[in-house]
A and B are shown apart, each in its own frame.
Chain A
């Protein structure tokens, strides 16, 4: 059953529409990641949920109760801020107790609840520490403990990992995921990092210019993006203009710079191939392979190599001027080499065809 629902939320600032008729729903205990570049409206959405902004249209419902106009003070949504917003003049215990005191919890019960919240984030016994003495990761956990202590109905996380060292992010990500699953709280998370969204979100909502482009599980988004924007924003990919020739034995035949390739059903967004004629092909690097220049392969010159570990990412400039990224073993070719590009044998997916009109 739906626990939290956003019903065509709209927010305008002057002439710009920051959030445009956004509708989403979350199950109880589900974690939804709002993913998008800066200016996509994800932060505004989170602030609408928290009640810091009031929408120009639309509603926010929690268990069918309309909370759209409920002040943040009374909304009982917990929030972890991007820079944590811990109160620097209060110690850790006082910070965590702050929300509990709003609920008029006092005395031993208060102590008990604070201790429980700190134990939850693995910082038991930190009550009397000063905020300034904590590491970035600890501050983040205190911010979580403070938000969770009053047992809010919904938890909001604003770029929760952006303030941490890259080396610390992965571990913290795991801790947050595990903690939120244990608490079982319905959570909305905002991020511009695809890794973060995919790792933390049960589902991911991709936003652009205030619009919801697509919402789905990380696997769905990666395997069948609804449009080129999602395909390119989620995971690495390159784009090239092609011509659809017509149906083939197993899928569809396209002409890539004069070379004919046959693509399987997986390449069709929502199961529908674009009509014959020009189309846009978005390709993941692992869906292509490098060969010697040969018939049936798109010819090009290796322009760049990016070392990523077990495999390298090669950028190949085709003769018509497109640039395609291809994954291949590190030492197979060198910049300047003439190569051919073919669809990788094992890849069913990773290649997506879109009508030319949707940019």
Chain B
């Protein structure tokens, strides 16, 4: 492939990505400033004038910051515990600790509702034990949101810190010790500075996820406002342009956060490729301490598994039979059978499967094309292409939903706009855009890790471009592709944020069916959907981890 053709194809890909990713965002920006007769700041004034807009913006910001603090406070010590100390059950519990990751956001919220909601499992138990007249708490407002956030997002800190600790060279600890540094000084002066990129990476990911979080505020928010739910509410009211301004404000916060923590983006390169021996585990020797640590570990595991178990339990409960008893009086397969037998209820499952599959295949194809052009062939616009692919990560899902709904609600082929709203295709396109950062991150990293002389070796052995791609590049990229694809699939499969804004009756995904089952008090079926979602997500994750590791 000549350099000119590479640049030509690169430009083509760039244009496509500009159209798919940047153009809708620009349109949102433009629409927010355009009234019936020309440019206007009316909507900005409206936005600034309303008290609840400021409340929502402030709510989003402080909830996200508080989530970072809470998640860090839980995740970092846990990571230290599991990577530095050896005690009974370390391996199993250490694995279970990552479990909240396989719980799609809406399913997690659902499980928390069953556990700690007004008639939740734990709430009832406490009410009974202490003989209270009313439930001990109400699962609503900022506290409830933070609880769910802390539970589902400490995993980021946990995984990042563990990866960072695993990347440390044992000789660093030994060097510090031989220089007379005690445990605390080593931690403060050596370990924490080395972990800083990992911690910043965890913080950034947590902040972005919390900022874009929709399920928890939507279900538990009550009167508490955050921007993501505010946008949806405003749009339901028909104030489209105000929604645009809200969208822009949320995007600005996200971009500022990204800019402040931009160093964290280099995390992978600083922690990934380091050589050396991983630090040895410190055995916990005193039997009493061992016992305590072990019990705490298992207690923690139970606490973390409780949502999953509750979901499983509720999914076997016949409709309307479980009211005040601590354990359900009857069990049934009915809820699951409903999913299979009733074509109307089976449809969301099939929808989610094909939507997520299509979005994943498209994301992988684009990522591979970007890898070939940008990493391998050093096409002219490689850096811009990579930046565009990463962009949707910095933009909350609600924002993209609005942007795509705006861009593709008009038929103007010359302006690159088509009517996709109300068709089958808007949702997969939205999933695709949201998946591109995850997928391309994994695939591009895979491309970078490939020894370029393998390609050259294939060339000297007479293999053309396609044969090299098919026989050498793609097989070697398989772990990266499988990892990226499985993450993308799971995200799309459990998506709620974008779906609630863009679905049609024919594309309604599982998450929306869970919501409507819940609204109809069909708790068992909602839980059964949740279990299916969780099981398929976990299976795909496991596949990704397995193939990703050995291939």
Q: Footprint of B on A, CB under 8 Å?
A: 50-52, 71-79, 81-83, 85-90, 98-99, 102-103, 146-147, 150, 152, 156
Contacts and interface: CB of A to CB of B under 8 A. Distances in A.
B97 to A, nearest CB: 32
Given A83-B451, A89-B476, A102-B467, A76 B456 contact: no
B454 interface: yes
Given A89-B475, A89-B476, A98-B471, A103 B462 contact: yes
A82 B454 CA distance: 11
Given A88-B476, A89-B475, A89-B476, A74 B462 contact: yes
22 contacts: A50-B456, A51-B459, A72-B456, A73-B459, A73-B463, A73-B464, A75-B460, A76-B462, A77-B460, A78-B461, A79-B460, A81-B457, A83-B451, A83-B453, A89-B551, A90-B471, A99-B461, A102-B461, A102-B467, A146-B457, A147-B460, A147-B461
Interface residues of B, number: 18
A179 B476 CA distance: 31
Given A98-B463, A99-B460, 18 more contacts: A50-B460, A72-B459, A72-B460, A73-B464, A78-B460, A79-B457, A79-B460, A81-B453, A85-B456, A87-B458, A87-B472, A88-B476, A89-B475, A90-B471, A99-B462, A99-B463, A102-B461, A147-B460
A102 B462 contact: yes
Given A79-B456, A87-B472, A89-B475, A150 B462 contact: yes
Contacts, number: 66
Contacts of A72: 456, 459-460
Contacts of A90: 471
Q: Which 6 A-B pairs have the closest CB atoms?
A: A102-B462, A99-B461, A85-B457, A72-B459, A85-B453, A79-B460
B479 to A, nearest CB: 10
Nearest to A89: B475
Nearest to A143: B457
A146 B461 contact: yes
Nearest to B460: A79
B2 to A, nearest CB: 10
Given A74-B462, A89-B476, A99-B461, A52 B456 contact: yes
Contacts of A83: 451, 453
Contacts of A74: 462
A81 B456 contact: yes
A156 B459 CA distance: 13
Interface of B is mostly: helix
Contacts of A79: 456-457, 460
A85 B454 contact: yes
A147 B464 CA distance: 16
A74 B459 CA distance: 8
B291 to A, nearest CB: 43
Contacts of A87: 454, 457-458, 471-472, 476
A297 to B, nearest CB: 51
A88 B550 CA distance: 12
Contacts of A85: 451, 453-454, 456-457
Nearest to B465: A73
Nearest to A71: B459
A43 to B, nearest CB: 12
Contact of B458 (A98, A147, A152): A98
A77 B476 CA distance: 25
A99 B461 CA distance: 4
Interface string B205-223: 0000000000000000000
B462 to A, nearest CB: 3
Nearest to A102: B462
Contacts of A98: 458, 461, 463, 471
Contacts of A150: 461-462
A244 to B, nearest CB: 50
A102 B460 CA distance: 10
A275 to B, nearest CB: 50
A85 B476 CA distance: 12
Nearest to B467: A102
A73 B462 contact: yes
